[in-house]
Amino acid sequence: MREILGRRRRLLSKRNDKGSELLGAALTFAAEWQWPVLPGVAPDPQGRARCACPDPECTVPGAHPFDPGLLAATTDERMVRWWWGNRPTAPIVLATGAAGGKAPCAVSLPALAASRALALLDRRGMRLGPVVAAPTRWALLVKPYSMEQLGELLYAKDFVPGSLRFHGEGGYLALPPSETGQGAIRWERAPLPGSAKPWVPDVEAVVDAVVDALTRTGVSAPEL
């Protein structure tokens, strides 16, 4: 009995620590950096690879908004405290390109291709902003862009890998230290400690560099 009670206390303590970590991160994103966030739907407790949303074939388990919906994303500190006070282990979801262009957008690609591309860009001395890493995909944060701007950028390219995904206005991205059905979300490139608001590059620079890096390293970047 003592062993069982001790195990329960450890699990509860771990959950409380994780909840405090998530709340602290959500408050930093929303209140300090003015990035609108909201809680994501949790992974299914019956199987973490599944999502708790009604879609049995959900492709991003635990890493998307459900209730409330994406339009509820906010920078209001009181709302953030209320959400994570009631759902302390909920993933943190960023509404990309929202809040009148204050929130960053993102360009994501498969993890292996992203790792190779970042290594090449580092050797070239290119400055990158924060990079969010999920087990299967990494996302490079960029300045907000319009659909027209993105369309012109892609139209001018001779080749764009089909595995590149663009998280612009109306999109979303799970942020660290969330736990989703695919695993932990972490910073591959973390924002500088104490920064008032992380610097992010233009989408043109990132797409140009990533496409060139993938081509030069011979990474086909399959769809994932």
Contacts with 15 (C-beta within 8 Å, 6 or more apart), sequence order: 88, 89
**Alpha-carbon gap, residue 119 to 80, rounded angstroms:** 36
**Alpha-carbon gap, residue 111 to 164, rounded angstroms:** 11
Per-residue pLDDT band at 86 (split at 50, 70, 90): very high
Element (H, E) at 96: strand 92-96
| Digit-coded pLDDT (tens) for 47-58 | 567 788 888 888
Residue pair 212/100 in contact by the 8 Å Cβ criterion:
no
Per-residue pLDDT band at 224 (split at 50, 70, 90): very low
Which pLDDT score is estimated for 47?
59
Which pLDDT score is estimated for 158?
85
Instruction: Give the rounded percent of residues in the chain with a pLDDT score beyond 90.
Output: 57
Q: Is it the case that residue 13 has pLDDT exceeding 80? A: no
Per-residue pLDDT band at 1 (split at 50, 70, 90): low
Question: Which residue spans within 114-163 are E strands per DSSP?
Answer: 131-133, 137-142
| Digit-coded pLDDT (tens) for 191-215 | 987 667 899 999 999 998 888 888 7
Q: Is it the case that residue 4 has pLDDT exceeding 60? A: no
Per-residue pLDDT band at 219 (split at 50, 70, 90): low
What φ, ψ does residue 10 adopt, rounded to 5°?
Answer: -65, -40
Which pLDDT score is estimated for 15?
54
Contacts with 157 (C-beta within 8 Å, 6 or more apart), sequence order: 207, 211
Q: Is it the case that residue 134 has pLDDT exceeding 70? A: yes
Give me the DSSP letters along 171-198: EEEEETT-EETTEE-EEEEPPPTT-SS-
| Digit-coded pLDDT (tens) for 154-167 | 999 888 888 899 99
Q: Which residue's entry shows tokens 């490139």?
A: 189
- pTM for the whole structure: 0.86
| Digit-coded pLDDT (tens) for 167-179 | 999 999 999 999 9
Work out the average pLDDT over 82-92.
Answer: 95
Residue pair 117/143 in contact by the 8 Å Cβ criterion:
no
